[in-house]
Chain A
Amino acid sequence: MRNRLRVLRAERGWSQAELAARLGVSRQTVNAIETEKYDPSLPLAFRIAQLFAGRIEDVFDPDGAG
């Protein structure tokens, strides 16, 4: 699934490690989501959307092939 996580993170000037700490996951998890090797669970997708003050579909594109 395509996502805008890297763009949103860059807009806030956060490192992957910083974002990982805010989400309570490992840096590898953030990297795997950004590189679209891993689709997060629904609870984590909600946490990501809430962190960026948006909706899940603002971050993740369900129609995009991952």
Chain B
Amino acid sequence: MSDVTLCRVRVPWYVHPYFAATLSAVGAILSSLILKRWEPVGALRVAVGLLAVPPSTFLVWTFIRWIRGLDELEHRIVFQAVSFAFVTAILAMIGMEGLEKAGVLRNVGWESAWEGMVFLYVAGYIWARRRYR
């Protein structure tokens, strides 16, 4: 058995969080691309705008499924990573909102907040995992 046994749970590729994350990213890119290039109207515009929601829901489901298969230390590591990402993201948002109100920052781009949270989760996961190595 290798040293890296944290992800012990073997899942089929089509229900793996990595595959779901790829689908979600493809959905988000397609949505932006179609809205920019073809500018659909009416119900089609709403549908295209929400294109990333179904694969993202699938991503959440695969993530929960993956977490359920982990052992208690791995649960703790994921919990600490999520907590780190959540708290740090809130602090960053409060700070950035304040700077935006003060006129120091313009067009912060809050639609990218979730990307920041994913980055913070990965950073928190690496940090928490190292703690118990």
Per the CB 8 Å criterion, the residue count for chain B at the interface is 14
B72 and A28 contact, CB distance less than 8 A: no
Which of A20, A24, A38, A41 has a CB less than 8 Å from the CB of B5? A20
Does A10 interact with chain B (Cβ within 8 Å)? no
B1 and A29 contact, CB distance less than 8 A: no
Q: Which of B113-133 contact A (CB under 8 A)?
A: 129, 131-133
For the complex, would chain A's binding face be called helix, strand, loop or mixed by DSSP majority? Answer: helix
A: interface residue count bin: 10 to 19
Binding site for B on A (CB under 8 A): 17, 20-21, 24-29, 31-32, 37-38, 40-41, 44
30 residue pairs from A and B, CB less than 8 Å apart: A17-B1, A17-B5, A20-B1, A20-B5, A24-B71, A25-B71, A25-B72, A25-B73, A26-B6, A26-B8, A26-B74, A27-B3, A27-B5, A28-B5, A28-B6, A28-B73, A28-B74, A28-B132, A28-B133, A29-B71, A29-B74, A31-B132, A32-B73, A32-B133, A37-B131, A37-B132, A38-B73, A38-B132, A40-B72, A41-B72
